[in-house]
């Protein structure tokens, strides 16, 4: 027999966690054949080792959900059990709860659902994928949800100030005007979810902070949701500096397209380096989105696929490229002969 303990259950969370008339507890007991007791703010799970481990994982996930939302829907309960046991859809497409009344944002593909689920259940998440897959948009939505439910006190939106052909010093205006073009995508997303006037108010109150990556040095951010966008344009040193800004009760999402970089030649991308260096660390989750997750205009997916084909051809050995060219020429000749 094995016994696990889940500590520090707030009294107001007991009812949504256990369910009306303890219906959630009964289902977990029956599903995993374990005994569950609640005493002095602690939940004890007793039974066979494997069953106890799974029941503990389910209850831990459910506890995080009710801490964040204050309630637990049947669909989310079922999805959590399915995720732990692997006996059904691994994630839920539950809507992300943003501040604007009546607005719903939810994952639209399986890859996006995995991404949202990873953010909910991990403190550091790396998301890589092509344009239009929702990397930035969904990360901002999750940050707004965390702010709404008071899981955090501050949202920090960060981007490297690296573009082709220009530097901050050559742009007109004060510092805020200089960095605005680099941070515009993040501001557009959060304005859509909260509303321009409220965003400006929250920026004035320092609840929302939008800054270039270079300005993160020397800081420690507690109870914050920190998003690094376009992370492929960070250097290895910058990525290390950024990740080590994380304080207690904070969450980090790093997004970017590892195949694209505007860094100077021979400068290693901090995103590519981190994907290799940190992949075995518990609590760090890597999510890869693909062309199948693109939710912009349908032409965007075709454009991305066309560029991927061109990149594969350019990386192929000369012999393979020659063979492809010959095959294409042969097909053209055959087609011409048939038409004649």
The average pLDDT across 210-222 equals 89
Residue 95 pLDDT level (bands cut at 50, 70, 90):
low
pLDDT for the residue numbered 131: 83
40 pLDDT higher than 50: yes
What DSSP state is assigned to residue 71? -
156 CB contacts (<8 Å, ≥6 apart)?
209, 210, 211, 221, 224, 225, 226, 227
What DSSP state is assigned to residue 94? P
Residue 18 pLDDT level (bands cut at 50, 70, 90):
confident
pLDDT for the residue numbered 331: 47
Residue with tokens 């991404």: 115
The average pLDDT across 144-157 equals 91
Task: Pull the structure tokens for residue 309.
Answer: 């084909």
pLDDT for the residue numbered 71: 75
pLDDT for the residue numbered 340: 42
Residue 117 pLDDT level (bands cut at 50, 70, 90):
confident
168 pLDDT higher than 70: no
In sequence order, what are the beta bridge partners of 126?
A: 254, 286
CA distance 31 to 185: 45
Question: Percentage of the chain with pLDDT > 70?
Answer: 76
Residue 274 pLDDT level (bands cut at 50, 70, 90):
very high
pTM of the model: 0.64
**Is pLDDT larger for residue 142 or for residue 106?**
142
41 pLDDT higher than 80: no
pLDDT for the residue numbered 278: 95
Give the burial class of 67: count Cβ atoms within 10 A of its Cβ; 0-12 exposed, 13-18 middle, 19 or more buried: middle
**CA nearest neighbour of 232 among 124, 135, 315, 141:** 135
**Is pLDDT larger for residue 156 or for residue 39?**
156
- Using DSSP's 3-state secondary structure scheme, residue 27 falls into helix
**Is pLDDT larger for residue 269 or for residue 294?**
269
In sequence order, what are the beta bridge partners of 43?
A: 6, 38
270 pLDDT higher than 90: yes
CA distance 122 to 169: 37
**CA nearest neighbour of 157 among 190, 181, 194:** 190
pLDDT for the residue numbered 174: 59
pLDDT for the residue numbered 298: 61
């Amino acid at each position: 027999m094995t016994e696990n303990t889940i500590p520090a259950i707030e009294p107001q969370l007991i009812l949504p966690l256990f369910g009306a008339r303890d219906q959630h507890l009964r289902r977990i007991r029956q599903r995993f054949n374990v005994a569950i007791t609640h005493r002095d703010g602690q939940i004890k799970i007793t039974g066979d080792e494997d069953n106890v481990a799974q029941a503990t994982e389910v209850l831990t996930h459910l506890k995080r959900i009710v801490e964040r939302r204050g309630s637990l829907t049947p669909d989310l309960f079922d999805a959590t059990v399915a995720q732990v046991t692997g006996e059904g859809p691994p994630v839920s497409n539950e809507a992300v709860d943003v501040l604007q009344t009546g607005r719903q944002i939810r994952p639209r593909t399986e890859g996006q659902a995995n991404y949202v689920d990873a953010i909910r259940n991990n403190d550091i998440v790396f998301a890589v994928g092509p344009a239009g897959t929702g990397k930035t948009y969904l990360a901002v939505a999750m940050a707004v949800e965390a702010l709404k439910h008071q899981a955090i006190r501050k949202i920090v939106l960060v981007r490297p100030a690296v573009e082709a052909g220009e530097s901050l010093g050559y742009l007109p205006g004060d510092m805020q005007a200089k960095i605005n073009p680099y941070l515009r995508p993040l501001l557009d997303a959060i304005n859509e979810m909260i509303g321009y006037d409220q965003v400006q108010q929250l920026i004035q109150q320092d609840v929302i902070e939008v800054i270039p990556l270079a300005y993160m040095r020397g800081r420690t951010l507690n109870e914050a949701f920190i998003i690094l966008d376009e992370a492929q344009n960070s250097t290895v040193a910058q990525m290390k500096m950024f990740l080590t800004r994380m304080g207690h009760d904070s969450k980090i999402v790093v997004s970017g397209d590892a195949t694209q970089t505007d860094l100077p030649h021979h400068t290693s991308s901090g995103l590519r380096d981190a994907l290799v260096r940190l992949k075995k660390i518990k609590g760090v989750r890597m999510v890869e989105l693909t062309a199948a997750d693109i939710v912009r205009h349908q032409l965007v997916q075709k454009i991305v696929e066309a560029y991927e084909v061109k990149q594969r051809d350019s990386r192929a050995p000369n012999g393979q490229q020659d063979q492809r060219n010959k095959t294409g020429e042969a097909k053209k000749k055959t087609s011409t002969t048939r038409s004649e």
